[in-house]
Amino acid sequence: MNVVILAAGMGKRMHSQMPKVLHRLAGKPLLAHVVDTARLLSPASLTIIYGHGGETVPQALQAADIAFAKQEPQLGTGHAVLQAVPHLRDDAPTLILYGDVPLTTATSLQRLLDSAGTDKLSILTVELDNPTGYGRIVREHGAIVRIVEQKDATDAERAIREINTGIMVAPTAKLKQWLATLSDDNAQREYYLTDIVARAVADGVQVVSAQPDAIAETLGVNSKVQLAELERIYQRQQATALLEHGVTLADPARIDVRGALSCGQDVAIDVNCVFEGKVELEEGVSIGAHCVIKNARIAKGANIKPFCHIEDAQIGAGAQIGPYARLRPGTILAEDVHIGNFVEVKNSQIAAHSKANHLAYVGDATVGARVNIGAGTITCNYDGVNKFRTVIEDDVFIGSDSQLVAPVTVGKGATLGAGTTLTRDAAADKLTVSRARQVTLDHWKRPAKIKT
Ligand code: UD1
Ligand code: CA
């Protein structure tokens, strides 16, 4: 099929400079949700109608499989679809979607497409207790004969509870003919897409309907209130999917997944964690409360304690991280590494069984196995202009409050005394200390207060 996504509207009630369809749901623009769903249907063409917000919409969504058609001024939904006509292949039906309706599923859209076949017009409809504001589906003897907009409807028509979600499929050659005959002779002086229904009936084309699995699939975003409501619905769906997969969630109402989270068996996630981008948690991983984890791979049995921030990092099996650890991009931790509170690691590899348990900065470093990095240790990787690497070989012990001024290497098995400022390489298996020797002054006395 051809897919057309309407995204030209202005979204006044968002009170924002940004076009409505670029506002984010689960970290992704509303319009990108619709595009991703459309792609699941393998469309022959995919056209986005944009207008309000200028080129920001094509810039944000640009992709080889998307055509953009500008609608300016915006004269209604029928006028919007008309702009897509040059992109539509006549040999396939056309599915019309909306850039501000992000939760529609491919399953429901496939049902709609199946109901339309190649020659029928099919509308996705739902029944609402309060249909105010929507276009109503007018039926005669069960058959759909037209759609009437709220503002054009009689009292009897306003009592109809079956509404037009806006999503529909039409045979393309006919659609092009119908769009060319639309007029704006109505209460809103707009070219209504919905008028194609009466055109189809007049043309002897059968008009049918299909229903989505859930009403939430048809909800649009017109305000920040509605955006927040849809965000909660979406997050609840993600949480339910995780629970059904066997993940333990301390509270399914307090997890946010803004991307793709994949979990092995027996993963447990405590409250208020945020997952962004692509995150993989292997079997038996446990995530403490209040962690923010983005683009990370966490291997079997690792334990991430509360309040950790992890981004573009890999964590080895059985590692113990946090509480209050920060793992920045380029962090690669091997098996059983321990990173404790207030330790920051960046662009560093740390081999198996090494530990930095308290208050340290490990940046641009290559750390061997079984290394102990004492409290307050800092790799001084930056001279204000360039960055340099620190190499710490296997079995090194670094005393507390040491500074390693890179580029520098600490040889295998070396020990650095506490308080060392290392500016040259430290020899393997030896003790290196740089601090002044301790002295005691026997005859020293504290100054006394001078009496006046
Ligand atoms: C439309 C339907 C109504 C349906 C409702 C569902 C028409 C005439 N009416 O009404 O039957 O119940 O949706 O929400 O189609 N848009 C453009 N260009 C335009 C006008 C609109 O791209 O010139 C886009 C908007 O950005 C929006 C969507 O189309 O995403 C719907 O437009 P809107 O004006 O909100 O239609 P409704 O009045 O809600
Ligand atoms: Ca609307």
Residue 102: cis peptide before it, omega within 30 degrees of 0: no
- Residue whose CA lies nearest to ligand 1 atom number 32: 77
What confidence tens digit (pLDDT) does each residue in 399-429 have?
Answer: 999 999 999 999 999 999 999 999 999 999 9
pLDDT range class, residue 138, cuts 50, 70, 90: very high
- Average pLDDT over every residue of 80-108: 98
Q: What is the pLDDT of residue 327?
A: 98
What confidence tens digit (pLDDT) does each residue in 287-331 have?
Answer: 999 999 999 999 999 999 999 999 999 999 999 999 999 999 999
Q: What is the pLDDT of residue 214?
A: 96
Q: CA dist 136 to 194, 278, 398, Å?
A: 10, 42, 74
Mutate to test the pocket of ligand 1, among 20, 48, 77, 138 (most ligand atoms within 8 A of CB): 77
pLDDT range class, residue 99, cuts 50, 70, 90: very high
**Ligand 1 nearest-atom number relative to CA 8:** 22
Which of 9-13, 48-52, 70-74, 267-271 is predicted least confidently?
A: 9-13
Give residue 162 CA to ligand 1 midpoint distance, Å. Answer: 17
Q: What is the pLDDT of residue 105?
A: 98
- Average pLDDT over every residue of 109-114: 98
Query: Is the separation of the CB atoms in 270 and 308 below 8 Å?
Result: no
Collect all residues with Cβ–Cβ distance below 8 Å to 37 and sequence separation of at least 6: 97, 104, 105, 106, 109
Give residue 338 CA to ligand 2 midpoint distance, Å. Answer: 53
The percentage of residues in the chain with a pLDDT greater than 90, rounded to a whole number, is 97
- Residue whose CA lies nearest to ligand 1 atom number 22: 8
72: left (phi over 0), alpha (psi -120 to 50) or beta: beta
What confidence tens digit (pLDDT) does each residue in 236-295 have?
Answer: 999 999 999 999 999 999 999 999 999 999 999 999 999 999 999 999 999 999 999 999
Is the model more confident about 452 or about 143? Answer: 143
pLDDT at residue 10 is higher than 90: no
Give residue 76 CA to ligand 1 midpoint distance, Å. Answer: 7
Q: Which domains can be identified in the chain, with CATH numbers?
A: 2-218 (3.90.550.10), 224-432 (2.160.10.10)
- Write down the pTM of the prediction: 0.94
CB atoms within 10 A of CB 319: 24
Say which ligand is closest to the CA of 226: 2
- Average pLDDT over every residue of 133-147: 97
pLDDT at residue 452 is higher than 90: no
pLDDT range class, residue 161, cuts 50, 70, 90: very high
pLDDT at residue 430 is higher than 90: yes
Q: What is the pLDDT of residue 179?
A: 98
- Residue whose CA lies nearest to ligand 1 atom number 36: 77
Q: Which of 143, 157, 135 minimizes the C-alpha distance to 208?
A: 143
Give residue 59 CA to ligand 1 midpoint distance, Å. Answer: 23
What average pLDDT is seen over the chain? 97
Q: If 0-12 CB within 10 Å is exposed, 13-18 middle and 19+ buried, where does residue 274 land?
A: middle
Q: CA dist 421 to 360, 368, 390, 432, 436, Å?
A: 14, 20, 13, 10, 11
Say which ligand is closest to the CA of 218: 1
**Ligand 1 nearest-atom number relative to CA 193:** 15
Say which ligand is closest to the CA of 123: 1
Q: Which amino acid is at 365?
A: A
Q: Which residues line ligand 1 (CB under 6 A)?
A: 6-9, 49, 71, 74-77, 79-80, 98-100, 134-135, 147, 149, 163-166, 192-194, 220
| Residues annotated as part of the active site | 358
Give residue 6 CA to ligand 1 midpoint distance, Å. Answer: 8
